[in-house]
Structure 1
Amino acid sequence: MAPRRASITSIEDLRRLAERRVPRMFYDYVDCGSWTEGTYRANSEDLAKIPLRQRVGVDISKRTLASRMVGEAVTMPVALAPTGLAGMQWADGEILAARAAERFGVPFALSTVSVCSIEDVAAHTTRPFWFQLYMMKDRAFMERLIGRARDANCSALVLTLDLQVQGQRHKDIKNGLSTPPKPTLRNLVNLATKPRWCLGMLGTRRHTFRNIVGHVSGIEDVSSLAHWVSGQFDQSLSWEDVRWVRKLWDRKLILKGILDPEDARMAASTGADAIVVSNHGGRQLDGAPSTISMLPAVVEAVGDRTEVLFDGGVRSGQDVLKALAHGAQGVLVGRAFLYGLGAMGEEGVTYCLELLQKELDLTMALCGVTDIANAAHALLAPAQNVPPERQFARRA
């Protein structure tokens, strides 16, 4: 039975529903961090600790969430982050999420390791989307990917910098994560309890990494694909490689995975249009600081040289407001929309965005903030290390 919307009042409700409906290995792929998962938990916990400033006697009748992210007009400063295997949360998941984002008026970013390809998403949307790229050893393949993103009219390239090696995620190893799932007894038993998911997958031909399969020679099955992907992350990545990508891509360039002020300054020097303060959702270096704890220092380090976006631990509109109040000019959400996708498909992604928008709007009202550009007014105390002119500046 489909859930009544009235019974879903938070992202947590969507998470619980996704946990029941998505096969264990793919739910765990989303809802896990590396090693002890300490950094994964800290991202949300540190956001929760930030107090807000309640105000009264302010005319809040004409509030606006409209803003801009990386030069694009948005209904609210939120984007759907690039996430691998979204198409394993729900059949054709990346297409559904992109359509929901387009209707809502926010950006969608497609991962290199998506199930639906660049071309699949472009064929089912009309608004330009962002494409996420890893630095890979096969530079010819990277050039072809960049060319395909250009041909699909992608408006921005998101280059991920924090995956030169992959942090160990215990749940993925124990579950034997693979796409599609291997027909082991354990997997078959679990899949038998997910009839809705199985029926959806039977109705689509998209079951593997379609940005890669058919575009790289020698990949014939799941094993060869997994071996190729694991061997492609380039441990020799340097800022010169970033500049190489910058020369190939003449549209907006976003660098994701920045957590240190020194790295932020280097990123700004490459000519990037934006950076994303991110620790890969706690999936890489366990023990790294939370993203919100590092955001003010990164904002101060880059000044006005590049736009600063944020991700990590966002589960509510209040979290969005707190990140904006600390100097971010936009927020990326990953797990939040994936919970919606796994729970209810395209409708779930739309509902996730509606929940974030409503929470953001109501929290602004209670804080006496009428324009999202003035989000810093929502803080009980000024964010450390964020200059006043950076906190209160209207986004151009």
Structure 2
Amino acid sequence: MVTRQLPNPSELRELMRFKKPDFNGRRRRLDSALTIADLRRIARRRTPKAAFDYTDGAAEGELSLNRARLAFEDIEFHPSILRPAVEVDTSTTILGEPSAMPFGIAPTGFTRLMQTEGEVAGASAAGAAGIPFTLSTLGTTSIEDVRAANPAGRNWFQLYVMRDRDISYGLAKRAAAAGFDTLMFTVDTPVAGARLRDKRNGFSIPPRLTVGTVVDAIPRPWWWFDFLTTPKLEFASLSSTGGTVGELLDAAMDPTISYDDLEVVRGLWPGRIVVKGVQNIEDAARLVDLGVDGIVLSNHGGRQLDRAPIPFHLLPHVVREVGRDATVMIDTGIMNGADIVASVALGAKFTLVGRAYLYGLMAGGREGVDRTIAILRGEIERTMRLLGVSALEELEPRHVTQLTRLVPVSPEVAGVTAD
């Protein structure tokens, strides 16, 4: 039998402790976000469809992006027991200088379109967190203004090769003069990928007011207020602005980009140079032979060639081939700190996050970017503790198994026989 009694008033008082209401809407919604997926849901509610889909979408059927995310979901960790990791050290040295965590902010174009604080929010948040920030050639904040927003932190510059080479060379020289320490030479965009969400939405830079955009604006007046009451949305480094994303890229980029361009850029850049967009072992080995400081395994967030290689699957093979001779980094599909831990365990020296940063930006400006970084930091630290690892240097391939849903078919299995 259960013995019952009248409730004790003092015990009831202890239970009836109500949370103090927070009347700051931005802080309240950001505090409710526990994962990057939560930030994405908030961002989707607060951002016009065309701008959100530009960030969220990828090329054609979006298979490259979805496969990259599945690759991170399909991992199995192998923790060690009875190995206390009460304090964990997430710091690392990347390209000769420190970073408080093994990730930085990837280059993203048109960033003020997502939220008016744009690259200033990203650069200042990165500086406060002690991680690198990368400014895109297609950024909406100038090289000099990013440096002003992050004066003591690490700033990297991502460079496209333009049809007018002097534009590219001039941007590289400006970034060097502003104290940017690393140039990220991007090689996977000779032409624009087919980003079908943008075409269906009639997305352009700057946004055009249509019946559809006006209707979409009704539940999001704050975004349009910011857009209409802040400086004109335009590229900070390019003079051409009008048109769809594909038209802008095809007009600006040069499909004849080659190793000769890499040699020229290396000659004029005084700092470290990293090649972004590497997608096979052979290219990685050739770049290392040419003396680049690092490579980024990337399929451009799935936004260029659909069905491209999955960077996370490619990672251990490239590390075995060139990991002793160059810094190997990775991006595409990272949505959790555990994805970053797994990448480091398999040999990546560093990772880059793009969409995760933009979801935070759209959800809450600078504070939203801070929240993105805090979420990823917490996930990294928790994953390391649960693995029994106190420092990044202790992570090894034995900690991770890559499970595969997509298994390459050999010629024999496909029913093809050699002559």
| 1:281-360 alignment runs, 5 A limit | 281-360=301-380
**Cα pair 1:82 1:132 within 8 Å, conserved:** yes
Q: Cα deviation per residue 1:328-377 (whole Å; 9 max; x = unaligned)?
A: 00010000010000001111111111110110001101001111122226
Separation in structure 2 between the aligned mates of residue 379 and residue 358 of structure 1, nearest angstrom? 19
Contact 2:202/2:244 (<8 A) preserved: no
> Between Structure 1 and Structure 2, whose CA radius of gyration is higher?
2
Residue by residue, what CA displacement relative to the aligned partner does 1:81-104 show, whole Å, maximum 9, x if unpaired? 001111111103111110000000
- How many Å apart are 1:251 and its aligned residue? 0.2
Higher mean alpha-carbon deviation, 294-303 vs 193-202, is at 193-202
Deviation string, structure 1 residues 192-232 (Cα, Å, up to 9, x no partner)? 3211212222342141111112xxxxx5x625998564222
Identity %: 35
Amino acid of the residue matched to residue 27 of structure 1?
Answer: F
Contact between 1:368 and 1:378, CA under 8 Å: does it hold in 2? no
Q: Does 1:207 align with 2:227?
A: no
Output aligned runs, 1:208-223, within 5 Å.
208-213=234-239, 219=240, 222-223=242-243
Kindly provide the amino acid, as one letter, of the partner of residue 209 in structure 2: P
Q: How does 1:371-382 map to 2 (within 5 A)?
A: 371-376=391-396, 379-381=399-401
Match for residue 216 of structure 1?
Answer: none
Does the C-alpha gap of structure 1 residues 362 and 224 become closer, same or farther in structure 2, counting only changes over 3 Å?
A: closer
Q: Which ranges of structure 2 fall in alignment gaps of 5 or more residues?
A: 1-24, 405-419
Q: Deviations over 1:102-126 (max 9, x none)?
A: 0000000001111112122123221
Moved more, 197-206 or 86-95: 197-206
Distance in 1 (CA, whole Å) between partners of 2:296 and 2:403 is 18
* TM-score between both structures, scaled by the size of structure 1: 0.91
4+ long deviations beyond 4 Å: 223-229, 380-384
Uncovered stretches (5+) of structure 1, i.e. residues with no partner = 214-218, 385-396
Aligned residue among 207, 213, 218 for 1:187 = 213
Q: Supply the distance in 1 between the matched residues of 2:219 and 2:97 (Cα, whole angstroms).
A: 42
Q: What residue in structure 1 maps to residue 147 of structure 2?
A: 122
User: RMSD of the TM alignment (CA)?
Assistant: 2.0
TM-score by length of 2: 0.86
Query: How far 1:380 moved relative to its partner?
Result: 4.3
Which of 133, 136, 139 in structure 2 is aligned with 1:111? 136
- The count of aligned residue pairs is 378
Structure 1 residue 383: Cα displacement = 11
Report deviation, 1:282: 0.8
The 8 Å contact of residues 299 and 310 in structure 2, kept in 1 or not, is answered as yes
**Pair 1:143 & 2:169 matched:** yes
CA contact (8 A) 1:246 1:271 kept: no
Relative to structure 1, the CA distance from residue 264 to residue 183 in structure 2 (aligned partners, 3 Å threshold; closer, same or farther) is same
Partners of 1:83 and 1:141 in 2: CA distance: 19
Secondary structure (helix, strand or coil) at the match of 2:194 reads coil
Determine the C-alpha separation between the residues in 2 that align with 1:169 and 1:224.
Answer: 10
Aligned to 2:108: 83
CA displacement, residues 155-210 of structure 1 (integer Å, 9 cap, x when unaligned): 11111100001110110111122122011111122123211212222342141111
Given the alignment of the two structures, is residue 69 of structure 1 paired with residue 69 of structure 2, yes or no?
Answer: no
Distance in 1 (CA, whole Å) between partners of 2:196 and 2:327 is: 35
Shift of 1:47: 0.9
Q: Which residue of 2 aligns with 1:152?
A: 178
SS at match of 2:163: coil
Within 2, Cα distance between the matches of 1:206 and 1:372? 43
1:276 aligns to 2:302 (yes or no): no
Q: Deviations over 1:259-286 (max 9, x none)?
A: 1000101221232111100001111111
